[in-house]
């Protein structure tokens, strides 16, 4: 396989995964049966450890409610647990402490996107881009949002072209370039 075939395969896999995720995320899949008790025990321990860590951090916030690092850590724990509305609340509080933190503003936008609060996610990404116009993750995420939620191929292309031009070392730059080519061919 040549390099182009591998990249095309990777982009196809990623897009297929994303489409499947969005198709499945709102459906009730019924109870999940775990046959391996070791897996169930490990998941319970991980959940308990996460809950304990979150409780410790929230106790710190009771003493110092404006501790930026702790607010971000709690937000990240919620995000990792797929509690996206909870993550968004903590990221929003962190931004009250440090309003120009582009990374947290982008994390807020991502949490809002996964909470299906698309207009709020757009506003958060726009805020990020007003702080740092070429912030790579904001450009990437906003492009995904425009493409997936607004079917705005031209908007996604415009943002992603800016992304690869301003950030040639972005880890997914090659994948983004391939997606730009694919979208242009569809137009």
The domains of the chain are located at 38-127, 133-187
pLDDT of 41 > 70? The answer is: no
Residue 1's pLDDT is 56
- CATH number for 38-127: choose from 1.10.40.60, 1.10.10.920, 3.40.50.1000, 1.25.40.10: 1.25.40.10
pTM here?
Answer: 0.73
Q: How confident is the model at residue 54 (pLDDT cuts 50, 70, 90)?
A: confident
φ, ψ (nearest 5 deg) of residue 26 = -100, 10
């Amino acid at each position: 396989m040549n390099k182009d075939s591998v990249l095309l395969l990777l982009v196809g896999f990623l897009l297929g995964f994303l489409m499947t995720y969005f198709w499945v995320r709102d459906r009730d899949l019924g109870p999940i049966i775990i046959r391996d008790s070791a897996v169930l025990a490990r998941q319970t321990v991980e959940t308990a450890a996460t809950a304990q860590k979150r409780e410790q951090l929230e106790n710190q916030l009771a003493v110092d409610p404006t501790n930026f690092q702790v607010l971000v850590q709690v937000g990240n724990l919620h995000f990792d647990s797929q509690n996206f509305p909870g993550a968004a609340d903590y990221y929003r509080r962190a931004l009250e402490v440090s309003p120009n933190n582009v990374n947290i503003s982008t994390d807020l936008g991502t949490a809002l996107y996964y909470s299906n609060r698309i207009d709020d996610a757009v506003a958060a990404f726009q805020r990020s881009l007003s702080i740092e116009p070429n912030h790579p993750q904001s450009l990437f995420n906003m492009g995904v949002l425009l493409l997936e939620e607004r079917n705005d191929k031209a908007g996604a292309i415009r943002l992603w072209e800016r992304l690869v031009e301003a950030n040639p070392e972005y880890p997914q730059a090659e994948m983004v370039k391939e997606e730009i080519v694919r979208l242009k061919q569809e137009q």
